[in-house]
Amino acid sequence: MFCNRWLQLCALGVLLLLLVPSLAMAQTGQGIITGLVTDSTGAIVPGVDVRITNKATGFVHTAQTNAEGLYRVPYLTPGMYEVSFESQGFRRVLRSNIQVRSTETVRLDAALEVGNVVEQIEVAAQASLLETERPPRGTSSPVPN
C-alpha cells in the first residue's frame, strides 16, 4: 500500500516537472503581425517589402510577401509599431500606431495603389586601360631569334 502511494506521488511529481516548463514557454510575451498584401483590384502582390519598426526602440523587423501575397513577422515585443509596405511600381503604404500586445496576433492587410514609376538613369563608365597621366615606363628592344 505504501509503495503504491509512493509511485503515485512520484508519477505526479514527474508530470508536474514536465508540464511546468511548457507552460512557462507558452508565456513568451511576444506578438505577431501577419497579413495579406493586394493591389487596388484585389490581386495578390508577391515580393512586397514589409518593414515593421518599434516606435519606442527604433528596432526594425523586415519581411517580404510570399507567392500568395502573405507575410508573417513573429517575435515582436509588445508596444506600438509602424508598418510600411513597398514594391516597385506601387505607392508606399504606411500604417502607424499598430498596437501589439503580449501573445497576440495582429492581422494587418494592405492594398497597394499603382504609383508613379520613377525613372532611373544608370551611367556605366569603364576605366581607361591606358595610363594617360604618366609617360611609359618600359622600353622595347628586339628579341633575337
Closest C-alpha to 106, from 32, 4, 17: 32
Task: Identify the CA nearest to 83 among candidates 114, 43, 48.
Answer: 48
- Please, what are the domains in the chain? 29-112 (2.60.40.10)
- Of 90, 110, 114, the closest CA to residue 98 belongs to 110
CA distance 45 to 86: 11
Q: Does the global pTM surpass 0.75?
A: no
At 50-82, the pLDDT tens digits run: 999 999 999 999 999 999 999 999 999 999 999
